[in-house]
A and B are shown apart, each in its own frame.
Chain A
Amino acid sequence: MSAHAPTALIADDEPLLREALRTQLSRLWPALSVVAEARNGREAVALHASHRPDICFLDVHMPGWSGIDAARQIGAAAHLVFVTAYDQYAIEAFAQGVLDYLVKPVDDARLTETIRRLQQRLREASARPDLDALLASLARQLGQSEKAAPLRWLRASVGQTLRLIAVEDVDYLRADQKYTRVAWRGEGGVAGEALIRTPLKELKDQLDPEHFLQVHRAVIVNLRAISHITRGDHDSAEIHLKQRKESLPVSRNFLHLFRQM
């Protein structure tokens, strides 16, 4: 396509890795000139706008805007190559798409192959595919992979302080209008209570089902906090806790959970 020598931008938050890729590129593709280096996605977008490089090498994990965020901004205005640390999930996501990607540490053979593809595209001036949908689904997939594990900490505001409460320190959770009341034990087993904004329903799906059980529409209890359960009349039951005076209701719909116990 263009008569000028091809230009590129490298974006990575780690200077050593930018330098490594630049050195590798200068060795394997001497004609390519690296015209800009960015430390994060936002810089990459800004530098792309001012330098208009033909190619952008974008590290996927960067602070603030990621490589994917930057790619969504740059869109079809450059040939994009993603660079990612070894991560099976990310690689699967990339491999499904038609996106070019390199895995760190970048090996020569792989880079040479990528260079050949890029050179061909530059020569043919081929239309860059519309990546919008692809990038959106990629961002979704990569986001999901970080959310699979059960919740370990609750974030509660106590005055000006944001406190992290380990879920194993929680005795029970009780819905309180839009909020959730967390009954927990702090240092030395001292009972504390805190309100958090996440609704009970949402927390339920994030808690480890091996330790937390919903026993009532408005109550989730930590199994380890239970001392004993007493049955009342009319299919009702009450949970008594090891270190607290108050008891918790078990509603009829959840009573079966304790039948085999």
Chain B
Amino acid sequence: MRAYLALMHMRIPDRLDFAITLAPECESQACVPWSILTLVENAVRHGIDPSETGGQIDVRVRAVDGQLVVEVEDDGVGLAGSSSGLGTGLASLRERLRGHYGEAARLQLESGASGHGAIARLQWPLTSP
């Protein structure tokens, strides 16, 4: 995921900034393969790429009430502005999550707090070390 963001930053250096915050207690947590990457790819493709001015992508991983919570937020064009085609990646991610965690995993997508951009939130139960 870091490599992907670094590569995208190389592609559009003037339009993409990113930050990754990983809480220490989450470092050893297992992650459904490609799950965070899917969200980050979406943020680039649907949030930043269509925007003339670009934006910032924040990836935050933390533990809340026994759940691992991954948030990928961008301040790009937002859900209303993004073109169609949204969904293939998320739909297949949903199915993979269901395969790993059943109904215990959640995936939400909302418009950003500031009124533009989008937040994708992914959560599943923490596994005890």
Contact = CB atoms under 8 A, between A and B. Distances in A.
B49 A15 contact: no
A168 B90 CA distance: 12
A46 to B, nearest CB: 12
Given A146-B83, A146-B84, A155-B80, A189 B103 contact: yes
A4 interface: no
Given A152-B91, A162-B79, A16 B10 contact: yes
A76 interface: no
Interface string B51-89: 110100000000000000000000000111001111110
B12 A14 contact: yes
A166 interface: yes
B27 interface: no
B91 A166 contact: yes
B84 A147 contact: yes
B85 A146 contact: yes
B103 A188 contact: yes
Contacts of A171: none
B85 A153 contact: no
Nearest to B49: A63
A163 B111 CA distance: 7
Contacts of A59: none
Nearest to B77: A63
A152 B95 CA distance: 13
B103 A15 contact: no
Nearest to A39: B14
Contacts of B108: 164, 187
B50 interface: yes
Best-surrounded residue of B10, B52, B91, B94 (most CB of chain A within 10 A): B52
B91 to A, nearest CB: 5
Contact of B79 (A40, A155, A188): A155
A189 B106 CA distance: 11
A164 B109 contact: yes
A149 B83 CA distance: 13
Contacts of B106: 187
Nearest to B123: A187
A40 B103 contact: no
Nearest to B51: A63
Interface string B7-40: 0001111110000000000000000000000000
Contacts of B86: 152-153
A162 B13 contact: no
A146 B46 CA distance: 13
B50 A63 contact: yes
Interface in B95-129: 103, 106, 108-111, 115
Interface string A143-174: 00011010111010000111110101000000
A178 B91 CA distance: 29
20 contacts: A13-B49, A14-B12, A15-B12, A15-B14, A16-B10, A39-B14, A42-B52, A63-B49, A63-B54, A147-B84, A151-B87, A152-B88, A152-B91, A161-B111, A162-B79, A163-B109, A166-B91, A166-B94, A168-B91, A168-B94
The 6 closest A-B pairs by CB, nearest first: A152-B87, A162-B111, A64-B52, A164-B109, A63-B52, A40-B52
